[in-house]
Structure 1
Amino acid sequence: MKKILLILLLLFIVTAGIFSWQSLTSGTSFEEKSRYLVVEEGRNTQKDVIQTLQQEHLVKHPGTFSLLATAWGIWNKLKPGKYEIKKGDNLFSIARMLRNNRQASIKLVINKLRVKEDLAHLVGKNFNTDSVAVMNFLQSNDSLKPFGVDTNTVFTLILPDTYSFYWNTSFNKILRKLADTRNAFWGRDDRMQKAQQLSFTPEEAYTLASIVEEETNFESDKSKIAGVYINRLGKDMPLQACPTIKYAMKDFTLTRIYEKYLSNPSPYNTYRKKGLPPGPICTPSPKTIDIVLNAPRTDYLYFVAKSDFSGYHHFSSTYEEHMQYAREYQKALDIYMAKKQNSPEH
């Protein structure tokens, strides 16, 4: 009897040792810096999670992890989400992360967006939210009403930046955080007062900044271009902004705006419609918004790209001077296009 008890004791000690060794040493089975365990809604049972750990090859000893998680009562507490497992984590630390619901922080990096589909794709790719559902939200004035915007102005809620969320954050909450950031932006540095001095609402200033953003990458030219558009608005002249034609055509690859494009009936066609378009044509950087708010006072009413294709512009206060520069640019562009068409690649 004593011999049997001794054997059982030894077996217990060995088993406990193996269990402790498997639990406390590196428990991951992948080579990357980290991998993610995604626990979907309705699939947070013990069977589902262990199956995922096995299929994704996330841990070396899924059986040991199952016993450990059961002992800690994790299965009744586990919440859907995305959890980051780092290379070298032991099973104890992984189990503790799940028990404490320490979900991974998902970075939503927003640069320049032009259309709602861009945002829907970005959110759908990074979060547990279907891009179709995001599009339905963005196209519904009822959904957007609590944010003080409509389907045309919704992008004015967005300032390009990097935002942190959880994987299962709803799009409503994502948009709320973006709106809170927007509100904080307009509450600093006398931005609201500067907009009012220009007779702009924040949405109108944002919309003008979106046009300036699409015109050039050079900050020195951005300020002058903003000044041109502000002057044209003040004189009740149409903006005649080429980027709005690209937006109206939904073709952002256009390098030349032909006369036939100018008849597009879109409300975003600023050749036909005076004033600002009904909403922004992209998400401008905060710096570009500030450039618009601080635009210098000039008498410029026109601008055209320089004929050296440097990306900079000539600015004019008279139509005659403007047309001189415009003809120079068109001539240079015709020569460039002809050379391109006659190149061996074509």
Structure 2
Amino acid sequence: MIKRIALFAIVVATILAGGFFFVERQAEQYVNQPLQLKTSTEIFTLHNGRSFQRVLHDLAQAELINTSKIEKVLRFLHPELTHLKAGTYQLEADMTLKQAIQLFQEGKEHQFSITFVEGSTFQDWLEVFKNTPYLKHQIEHLNEKQIADKLGLSHDKLEGLFLAETYHYTYGTSDLDILQRASLRLKKMLDRYWTERQEDLPLESPYDALILASIIEKETAIDSERNRVASVFINRLNKRMRLQTDPTVIYGMGDKYDGNIRKRDLRNPTPYNTYTILGLPPTPIAMIGEASIVAALNPEKSPYLYFVASGKGGHVFSKTLTEHNRAVRAYLKQLRSQ
């Protein structure tokens, strides 16, 4: 009788061991299945409060993994896999389910990026924000003054008050958060270069430096020219000559600008038309990068008062109006030959 009981126990133990081995093997196959991405990468959001089994269900609903009955007992077999952190993650095509779970455990959320180009306007930024995914939109229905108030900025006109560069963010970041970072980055940079600026510049405040930097930004994208372009404007300001720079005219025209500047536009006295006003326009005319701030506060020492496009990508700089008119004629001839 005892032998029979012992034999029965052995049989039961064998069956249980075999069953456990089978279940464990099924579990291993399940967690090591490759993700079924439709592209090389896909974004997956693990929402706060989701249970481990619900996350597996969400992955299956997104057709990223195959379902299996084993998922119902997986948390008992492998409790070490169940501690997941909410967030938005980037899944890679060569990942397995287990690797995705490990990513969720580590909480390494995907860093999205948003890029603002030097010389773009605040209206351009609003369009970029509007078309950027995984970003919380908080400024969409606010005017510039309301946005300025939320950011604690003293200027109601926001042009030029944010540093143009690439910003990284995670899911749930707002457009207002990015503007705050861009504002602080610009202020920190501007304060530094204002302290280190050349002596005797005809600029009364850091805000004046931003205005000049924005004009430089619109006049040239060639790094080697920025300091020379800055010198022309500084020389003209020192001589109380009008700046006569087309980008300010264009900015003042607003929606009326159709790609051409006519003589009547140059004579139209808008607050930004530097053909009709003395000194700087009232605000920056574009968003600025670091290089233009440096140029505005550290211009080249030059005798130049004029410049015009060369027709070959750069500019020709002149000391006198006669030289400048000759360079203008050469530029027009270059255009006609093309």
- TM interval, short-chain normalised: 0.7 to 0.9
- The CA deviation at 1:83 is 0.9
| 1:1-346 equivalence runs, <5 A | 7=15, 9-23=17-31, 25-30=32-37, 32-39=39-46, 49=55, 52-61=58-67, 68=74, 79=86, 81-112=87-118, 114-129=120-135, 133-137=138-142, 139-141=144-146, 143-144=148-149, 146-160=151-165, 162-188=166-192, 190-194=193-197, 197-198=200-201, 199-250=203-254, 256-264=260-268, 266-306=270-310, 309-333=311-335, 335-336=336-337
Superposition RMSD in Å: 3.8
Give the match for residue 343 of structure 1: none
Give the match for residue 4 of structure 2: none
CA 1:227 to 1:66, structure 2 compared with 1: closer, same or farther past 3 Å? Answer: farther
Gaps in structure 1 of 5+ consecutive residues: 340-346
DSSP 3-state at the match of 2:228: helix
- Alpha-carbon distance in structure 2 between the residues aligned to 1:63 and 1:150: 61
CA 1:77 to 1:88, structure 2 compared with 1: closer, same or farther past 3 Å? Answer: closer
Gaps in structure 2 of 5+ consecutive residues: 1-7
Contact 1:153 1:278 in 2 (8 A): no
Contact 2:223 2:291 in 1 (8 A): no
How many residue pairs match? The answer is 328
- The CA deviation at 1:316 is 2.9
Identity score, percent: 25
- The CA deviation at 1:297 is 2.6
DSSP 3-state at the match of 1:292: helix
DSSP 3-state at the match of 1:108: strand
DSSP 3-state at the match of 1:18: helix
DSSP 3-state at the match of 1:180: helix
DSSP 3-state at the match of 2:161: helix
TM-score normalised per structure 1: 0.76
Matched AA of 1:139: E
**Of the two, which has the highest radius of gyration?**
2
- The CA deviation at 1:37 is 0.1
TM-score normalised per structure 2: 0.77
Matched AA of 1:12: F
